[in-house]
Amino acid sequence: MSASKSFSRRTLVSVMVMMTLLLVLFSAAHYYVLETLSARVDMLSQAAELLAEHQVLIDQFEAIRKTAGIYYVPAAALVLMTIGVLLWKIVSSQFNALSKDAVPIRERPAERRPSPVLEEPPRRAKDEQLFLHLLSVLQRDGRLVDFLAEDLSHYEDGQIGAAVRTIHAGCKRATEKYLDPVPVLDLPEGHAYKVGPDFDPSAIKLTGNVSGQPPFEGIVRHKGWRAGRIDLPGLTAGRDVRIIAPAEIEIL
């Protein structure tokens, strides 16, 4: 059974019960009024001196009382039940209109959970993946992670300098090949520079005595770098992105 039919039946039963109670109350009130008036008319008819006009009124009252006793209850029942049916129709029609406007939860496509396989990774996971991928490229071409993980306290400065040259050359080739870094400001360090009110905070970092609103007068302390392009090699399908460099086993 649908929700609208169930609501309609419950509403009809409730309205009919309410109208029946009203009919009982009205009938009791009608009976009480007629009995009270009838008792007073009987007292008037028993009076010694009764005018002809009074007798006419008594006869009319008796005729009305008999007629009301026969037709009052059916007439009142018909009127109340008609009102009850009309009230039921109005309430049911309003409920059906609201039910049509409401979209069932199961039919809302926005609430259908997509397949976990098709879900796009969160932004943080993408950022971590890109960072680890770039680090693996610098390790592959310049052995950067090997150098950072090495304990340099056991080596002389000359030995460290010779190793750094090789690492620097490999990392430089990798960054130029895949990122092509270019200066944010093509100005030498120590050059005067005016920061306009529409400057990009992600491209220009303000240091020193910064107060108020731009424009500012300052000195270039670092020209900054931006990627001229991003052309990293693609990731191998199924590869664990957390592996920066695989272990190497020489088979004998």
DSSP 146-207: HHHHS-GGGS-HHHHHHHHHHHHHHHHHHHHHHT-EEESS-S-TT-EEEE-TT--TTT----
- Comparing 39-43, 154-158, 228-232, the range with the smallest average pLDDT is 39-43
Q: Which of 160, 210, 202 shows the shortest CA–CA distance to 184? A: 202
Tokens of 55: 């007798």
Q: Which residue has the higher pLDDT, 131 or 39?
A: 131
Residue 48: pLDDT band (50, 70, 90) is very low
Domain regions of the chain by residue span: 3-106, 122-180, 181-228
Q: Which residue has the higher pLDDT, 30 or 129?
A: 129
Measured from the Cβ of residue 150, the count of other Cβ atoms closer than 10 Å reads 13
Whether 117 shows a pLDDT value over 60: the answer reads: no
Mutual orientation of helices 157-178 and 123-142 as an angle, nearest 10°?
120
CA 213 to chain CA centroid, Å, is: 39
- Note the pLDDT of residue 239: 74
For the segment 31-41, the average pLDDT, to the nearest whole number, is: 72
Rounded Cα–Cα distance for residues 146 and 159 (Å): 15
Per-residue pLDDT tens over the stretch 49-71: 555 566 666 667 677 766 766 77
- Note the pLDDT of residue 204: 94
Contact by Cβ (8 Å): 187, 220: yes
Rounded Cα–Cα distance for residues 6 and 82 (Å): 22
Q: Tell me the H-state helices in the chain.
A: 3-45, 52-101, 123-142, 144-149, 157-178
CB-count exposure of residue 15 (10 Å: 0-12, 13-18, 19+): buried
Whether 118 shows a pLDDT value over 60: the answer reads: no
- Note the pLDDT of residue 217: 92
Residue 41: pLDDT band (50, 70, 90) is low
- C-alpha dihedral over 100, 103, 106, 107, to 10 degrees? 100
- Comparing 101-105, 188-192, 195-199, the range with the smallest average pLDDT is 101-105
CA 201 to chain CA centroid, Å, is: 33
- Note the pLDDT of residue 61: 67
For the segment 99-119, the average pLDDT, to the nearest whole number, is: 54
Residues in CB range of 228: below 8 A, 6 or more apart: 179, 180, 181, 182
CB-count exposure of residue 142 (10 Å: 0-12, 13-18, 19+): buried
Whether 82 shows a pLDDT value over 80: the answer reads: yes
Q: What is the mean pLDDT of the chain?
A: 79
For the segment 170-194, the average pLDDT, to the nearest whole number, is: 91
Per-residue pLDDT tens over the stretch 215-243: 999 999 999 999 998 888 777 777 787 88
For the segment 171-175, the average pLDDT, to the nearest whole number, is: 91
